[in-house]
């Protein structure tokens, strides 16, 4: 690691000779592998962008020149080269550095990101801002071929192409889709030729000469140039957007990357460099199976990822995937849709068994929802498997295309609530406030895996839009009966524990989702009643009012934004009937959650048992009374 240890920031990197860069890349790749194997994190994507990252920081004057990453899960090499090597041991841990770019973390992180397809829009804004202020700087956006499937990326390309004053370079990191010609000597030669001044000057001179020719002749020459180029490089599409296209080029060949980027640095206007990389590059196990090594936990890099000795409890995503396959047997109208989250959403088995009824639409959440609406219009029963944080990107489509038309689309919302190491950008905080205000929508929150299956059956049976929100990972281990296709009574809650406390000391905890089990533990300490609310919309208003009439205080608990959340719905329902029973609403705070272990985060925001106990005692000391010593210490923790 001798070379890598000398690099404290990109200024040190630029002091190296070009022939030292491959050795640095090798050390950087080994450092990433060693780090991620200890901390967990994104691996395949980061191993694939090592040389590209080295070349970009070597050629461009970062952070004066702006480097904007798309998604950001491939920026570990970037973090290491920009002064955060010593902090990599804290990667994605509570109080440590983020797994994504964050503006507050480093001046080299010019734009915070963790969602897809935003880089070109942000970079164009930066480039035009520099132009309007008279500042000379380069702006580079790095976008993957997967992120390019997002409609926002094409909107940005379309806009950028009409701004020749924008000093913008888009680097297309092609590491998966078969959209490029074979990479070899000819393509390397073409990339260097097309990026050089000679080609650009010759083409511009030819255009000037032909401008005095009759218009038909000029148009013919223009078309001949574009189509001749299209025979050897797949750049016609980008040229039509107004970009100068260069590539494809081997993204692991620094002897080609560096001079090509140097040529492009000297040019201006919108241009696009197409580089071809391989996920997991340099680590054979990740190269062979980039999906398994996409976001691993801790593992031995010599042995690779091994299956656990003891089979883990099924995750909610697995419960959903099994339910989907079971429904498909009984109803051939079922169609499953995912915006590029097949593995994460538990759809692998379904995609293999029912390929004709499975649609991965790419990173295009808006399209996924409206596509589902179109299917529903024709009598099919679409199920959209989507993460809570990604559903936000299709909110307009949920409203206009599904809810207003009252179409039977079921949203299976994964990663609802605290997600852990991915932090604020992936926290499923806002689906409850967003969906509960929409007419026609039924919104459910299961307390465990078995109830999740029941709610999926319930939502699927309805003749209108519905959603089931469930957390990441496994639940309490509730036994799931795959033969059970029963449905719940819509809007009916479930009393799980009745308080035996005397009048004046009665508290009822109304739990939405898996926090039910934490509430039950707290209730034993307080002799409180506990209601599994099940339905966020419609609420079980009758049981809610009964609890208000028979208890001295109510506590609502949810793993979602407390502002506008399920607790707010309860307060509104009580106010509508002029109830004066005091209510304490607990949930995710009005703040962005940090990344880290979910247990730590839950404790930090007061949604663990000790936190609930503390909040209840602090708000209702006269009702709760004095707690026994151990409980008092827990409440004060």
Are 161 and 270 in contact, with CB atoms under 8 Å apart?
Answer: yes
Structure tokens at 452: 């999740």
Catalytic option among 51, 188, 365, 537: 365
d(CA 635, CA 607): 12
Q: What are φ and ψ of residue 623, in 5° steps?
A: -80, -45
The secondary structure element, H or E, covering residue 120 is helix 119-132
| Pairing, β 529-532 against β 494-497 | antiparallel
- 619 CB neighbour count, 10 Å cutoff: 16
> Residue 69 — φ and ψ, nearest 5°?
-100, 145
Active-site residue 279, yes or no? yes
Other C-beta atoms lying within 10 Å of the C-beta of residue 503: 8
List the beta bridge partners of residue 349: none
Phi, psi for residue 109 in degrees, rounded to 5: -90, 85
User: Could you say which of 84, 138, 279, 469 is catalytic?
Assistant: 279
Q: Which residues contact 48 (CB under 8 A, 6 or more apart)?
A: 74, 173, 175, 251, 277, 278, 279, 280, 281
Q: Give the Cα separation of 563 and 580 in Å (integer).
A: 20
> 119-132 and 151-160 helices cross at what angle (nearest 10)?
30
Beta-carbon-side half-sphere exposure of residue 123 (alpha carbons within 13 Å): 32
User: Which of the following is catalytic: 66, 271, 381, 393?
Assistant: 393
Cα separation, 222 vs 421, whole angstroms: 51
User: What is the rounded CA–CA span in Å between residue 473 and residue 482?
Assistant: 19
Which residues belong to the active site? Answer: 279, 365, 393
């Amino acid at each position: 690691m001798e070379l890598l240890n000398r690099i404290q920031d990109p200024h040190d990197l630029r002091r190296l000779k070009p022939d030292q860069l491959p050795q640095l890349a090798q050390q950087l790749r080994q450092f990433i592998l060693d780090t991620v194997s200890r901390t967990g994190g994104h691996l395949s994507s980061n191993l694939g962008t090592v040389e590209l990252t080295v070349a970009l920081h070597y050629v461009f004057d970062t952070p004066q020149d702006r480097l904007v990453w798309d998604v950001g899960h491939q920026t570990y090499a970037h973090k290491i080269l920009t002064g955060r090597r010593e902090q990599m041991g804290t990667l994605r841990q509570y109080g440590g550095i983020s797994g994504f770019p964050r503006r507050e973390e480093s001046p080299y992180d010019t734009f915070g990101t963790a969602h897809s397809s935003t880089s070109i829009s942000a970079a164009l804004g930066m480039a035009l801002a520099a132009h309007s202020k008279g500042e000379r700087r380069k702006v580079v956006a790095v976008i993957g071929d997967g992120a390019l499937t997002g409609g926002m990326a094409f909107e940005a390309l379309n806009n950028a192409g009409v701004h020749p004053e924008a000093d913008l370079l888009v680097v297309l990191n092609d590491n998966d889709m078969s959209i490029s010609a074979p990479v070899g000597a000819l393509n390397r030669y073409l990339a260097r030729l097309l990026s050089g001044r000679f080609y650009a000057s010759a083409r511009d001179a030819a255009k000037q000469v032909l401008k005095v020719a009759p218009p038909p002749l000029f148009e013919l020459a223009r078309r001949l140039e574009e189509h001749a180029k299209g025979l050897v490089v797949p750049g016609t599409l980008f040229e039509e957007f107004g970009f100068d296209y260069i590539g494809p080029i081997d993204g692991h060949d620094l002897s080609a990357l560096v001079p090509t980027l140097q040529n492009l640095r000297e040019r201006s206007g919108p241009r696009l460099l197409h580089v071809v990389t391989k996920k997991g590059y340099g680590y054979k196990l990740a190269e062979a199976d980039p999906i398994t090594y996409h976001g691993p936990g801790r593992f031995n890099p010599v042995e690779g990822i091994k299956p656990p000795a003891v089979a883990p409890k099924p995750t909610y995503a697995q419960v959903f995937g099994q339910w989907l396959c079971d429904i498909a047997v009984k109803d051939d109208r079922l169609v499953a849709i995912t915006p590029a989250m097949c593995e994460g959403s538990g759809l692998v088995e379904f995609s293999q068994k029912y390929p004709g009824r499975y649609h991965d639409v790419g990173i295009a959440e808006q399209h996924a929802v409206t596509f589902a609406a179109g299917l529903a219009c024709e009598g099919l029963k679409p199920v959209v498997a989507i993460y809570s944080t990604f559903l936000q990107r299709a909110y307009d489509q949920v409203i206009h295309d599904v809810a207003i038309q009252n179409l039977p689309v079921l949203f299976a919302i994964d990663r609802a609530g605290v997600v852990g190491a991915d932090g604020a950008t992936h926290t499923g905080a806002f689906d409850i406030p967003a969906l509960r205000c929409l007419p026609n929508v039924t919104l459910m929150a299961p307390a465990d895996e078995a109830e999740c299956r029941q709610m999926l059956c319930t939502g699927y049976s309805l003749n209108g839009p519905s959603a089931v929100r469930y957390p990441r990972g496994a639940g309490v281990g509730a036994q799931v009966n795959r033969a059970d296709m029963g449905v719940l009574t819509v809007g009916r809650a479930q009393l799980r524990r009745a308080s035996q406390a005397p009048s004046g000391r009665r508290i009822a905890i109304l739990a939405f989702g898996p926090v039910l089990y934490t509430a039950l533990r707290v209730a034993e300490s307080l002799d409180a009643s506990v209601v599994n609310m099940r339905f966020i919309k419609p609420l079980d208003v009758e049981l809610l009012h009964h609890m208000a009439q028979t208890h001295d205080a109510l506590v609502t608990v949810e793993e979602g934004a407390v502002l506008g959340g399920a607790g707010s719905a309860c307060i509104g329902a009580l106010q509508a009937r002029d109830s004066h029973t005091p209510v304490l609403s607990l949930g995710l705070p009005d703040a962005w959650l940090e990344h880290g272990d979910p247990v730590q985060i839950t404790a930090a925001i007061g949604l663990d048992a000790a936190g609930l106990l503390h909040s209840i005692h602090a708000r209702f000391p006269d009702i709760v009374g004095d707690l026994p010593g151990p409980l008092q210490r827990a409440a004060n923790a």
